[in-house]
Amino acid sequence: MSKELRTVSGMRPTGPLHLGHYFGVLKNWVELQYTEEAYFFVADWHALTSDYADPSKIRTNIREMVKDWVGAGLDPEKCVIFRQSEVKEHAELSLLLSMFTPVSWLERNPTYKEQQQQISNKDLGNAGFLCYPVLMAADILMYRPHGVPVGEDQLPHMEMTREIARRFNYLYGELLPEPKAMLTPAAKCPGLDGRKMSKSYNNGIFLSDRMADIQEKVRGMFTDQARLRKSDPGNPDVCNLFPYHVLLSSPEEQAEIRKGCTGATLGCVDCKKIFLKNLETFLTPLQERRSVLDANPARVDEILAHGNERARAFAGQTMALVREKMGL
């Protein structure tokens, strides 16, 4: 298929990726690489906006995340996988966009306000964190995409990106498209304890986890808290496990599980065994692809070097046009 459309997206290298990352982001990326000219970047500068005090794990996280991406199905021959900090044009465009972005736009950003209140173990009073949306706008607008795959929580950032593009075009002449938000279908992936799946809660199933470790995790996984015995009828709609059957089990199997749960003929232990069987089937090809990179670490460097070169080539074209428009 001719890839006439272009898209871009990135992810911060803050730790190992879990099932929530796959079903919430990566699955969509894998599909987009076949239909669009797709740029996917490791957002290491963005990681510094909150982890500037201890950046010691960023380099390791970058490599591990690329392995997870390739394991999930991203093909460096079908999309551009690159590292944000290796394409210096991102910093230049971010600086230029900041010249005309009102501070009031940044201060009203709901994500900025929420994280200031919720993250109490880090000092987020730095300029980099406040200007996070400008750098994000630069990351996106650099590749002049028609759309960006995002979840609903990123809609405020997307709207600001559109406003910044609109303001640039008004001040200097038409150049930057106003990319639309390509909403990623919501995928419910609760943590093992019922909270949001997160490495900070230690309640996740990671794409690189061994099945022996996953079995131990799932053994203690919350299910329907009101169901104390197998003879008690359960409710899949409030069960912490059933959303994973929706993602990994066939419709016929889901129907059987629902019938067995509500009719008290299928216990939670049996339900977990079905989940583990389907999860192993799902994870095996991902981990096999990942293991190729584990055995050949230099391949990760090659993927990033090739992607960095391709990204720089496009970014250089965009910046030449931006400088001309701005009289630089």
**Is the residue at 228 inside a domain?**
yes
Within 38-81, residue ranges assigned H as helices are: 44-51, 58-72
Distance CA 38, CA 10 (A): 11
Cβ contact 137:160 at 8 Å: yes
- CATH number, domain with residue 83: 3.40.50.620
Distance CA 91, CA 242 (A): 44
**CB burial of residue 220 (10 Å; 0-12, 13-18, 19+):** exposed
Query: Does residue 54 sit in the same domain as residue 179?
Result: yes
Token match 């003879």: residue?
Answer: 231
Query: Does residue 236 sit in the same domain as residue 255?
Result: yes
For residue 158, CA distances in Å to 13, 148, 296 come to 21, 8, 37
Distance CA 192, CA 217 (A): 8
Query: Does residue 122 sit in the same domain as residue 219?
Result: no
Query: Does residue 157 sit in the same domain as residue 304?
Result: yes
Query: Does residue 184 sit in the same domain as residue 271?
Result: no
Q: What local confidence, expressed as pLDDT, does residue 226 receive?
A: 85
Query: Does residue 122 sit in the same domain as residue 227?
Result: no
Query: Does residue 213 sit in the same domain as residue 257?
Result: yes
The count of structural domains within the chain is: 2
Query: Does residue 275 sit in the same domain as residue 309?
Result: no
CB hemisphere CA count around 302 (13 angstroms): 9
**Is the residue at 1 inside a domain?**
no
Query: Does residue 258 sit in the same domain as residue 280?
Result: yes
Query: Does residue 129 sit in the same domain as residue 232?
Result: no
**Is the residue at 94 inside a domain?**
yes
Query: Please, which residues have CB within 8 angstroms of residue 191's CB and are 6 or more apart in sequence?
Result: 197, 198, 201, 203, 204
Convert the pLDDT of each residue in 31-63 to its tens digit: 999 999 999 999 999 998 878 888 999 999 999
Query: Does residue 165 sit in the same domain as residue 284?
Result: no
Q: What local confidence, expressed as pLDDT, does residue 165 receive?
A: 98
Going by C-alpha positions, the residue among 284, 288, 320, 310 that lies closest to residue 8 is 310
- Domain span at residue 59? 6-188+297-326
Q: What is the dihedral of CA 56, 58, 63, 64, to 10 degrees?
A: 90
Low-confidence ranges of the chain (pLDDT < 70): 1-3, 112-124, 186
Convert the pLDDT of each residue in 144-193 to its tens digit: 999 999 888 888 899 999 999 999 999 999 999 999 999 877 678 888 98
Query: Does residue 137 sit in the same domain as residue 59?
Result: yes
| Backbone phi, psi, residue 5, to 5° | -95, 155
